[in-house]
Amino acid sequence: MTFKRLLNKRVASTLPRRGIPMAIGRRGAGAAGWQSELAKLKEQLFEISPKTPYYDFEHEQRPISREKRFQWIPETPLMQVHWAYIIAITNHGYLLIHQQGAHERILYEQLQKAIFGKPIATQQSLFPVSIELQPADALLLTELLPDMLQLGYQVEPFGHNSFIIHGTPADVDSGNEQKAIEHILEHYKNFNAEVKFSRREKLIRTLAWQQSIKAGRNLSEKEMRSLVEQLFLCTTPNTTPGGKPTYVEYSIEQLQRTFG
């Protein structure tokens, strides 16, 4: 099946199952004709059932207008683009979601809750790994150990700048424990000295970046749906911890202007 046929099939699956005028593209159809049919198509596309669940992007408590707000429609299919972005249909257009940025936001808020509440579960290593660090890194890791334990890293000092890794969070692959610790320390040290984050805040941001899904990873429909659902349960879903956008909104009106 060609890409064009696959795309048409996906779009068709999101439309109401009733007759849709197909005058667009007919011979002899003038500008007024196709514009009229486009208006009818738009009306049918956004005729959403009252039972359709919505995710309010800004989580406001006051009543919202469905006509003026972008809201993701979970019952529509998702599509990954260049193994880095996810397209999600909304009631007024679509979203282009940055998969790594979105995952960073999700992890950041989860880690914030863990650091002040219930610790993240630790996956115990069958064969504990020992690592030896430079004196400065060993001192830094020693300072971070209490908070790292709360976030799922069970690391014990072993003397002479050495440590034993007894366990890590479940999303750290077995055999990569040493690299994970080294990457945490390296990224932690690279924070701009002018930014006055607390030690704990730097650690949370470091772990959110390190554990996030990077560009280049192919996601299944189930993984994409889980990512988007979790993103819009966040307190601040529209930005990464560093302030970059997690998604960009595109309206049907923008598309119409683009194509004249």
Question: What are the pLDDT digits (tens) for 48-65?
Answer: 444 444 444 433 333 333
Mean pLDDT of 191-215: 88
Examine the pLDDT at 66 and tell me if it is beyond 60. no
18, 60, 9: which is closest to 43 by C-alpha?
Answer: 18
- % of residues, the chain, pLDDT over 90: 59
What is the enclosing helix (H) or strand (E) of 97?
strand 93-98
Question: Which of the four pLDDT bands, split at 50, 70 and 90, describes residue 190?
Answer: confident
* Neighbour count for residue 93 (Cβ, 10 Å): 15
Examine the pLDDT at 21 and tell me if it is beyond 50. no
Mean pLDDT of 23-43: 52
Mean pLDDT of 88-97: 94
Mean pLDDT of 27-39: 56
Question: What are the pLDDT digits (tens) for 134-161?
Answer: 999 999 999 999 999 999 999 999 988 9
CATH no. of 103-211: 3.30.1370.100
Verdict on whether the full-model pTM lies above 0.85: no
Question: Residue 193 is encoded by which pair of tokens?
Answer: 């000295």
Domain boundaries, the chain: 1-47, 103-211
C-alpha to C-alpha distances, 260 to 67, 95, 249, nearest whole angstrom: 23, 21, 19
Residue 214, classed as helix, strand or coil, is: coil
Determine the pLDDT at residue 248. Answer: 95
Determine the pLDDT at residue 87. Answer: 97
Question: Which of the four pLDDT bands, split at 50, 70 and 90, describes residue 102?
Answer: very high
Question: Residue 174 is encoded by which pair of tokens?
Answer: 């077995």
Long-range contact pairs involving 169-177 (C-beta distance under 8 Å, separation at least 24): 169/120, 169/121, 169/122, 169/123, 169/211, 170/121, 170/123, 171/211, 172/123, 172/211, 174/125, 174/126, 177/125, 177/129
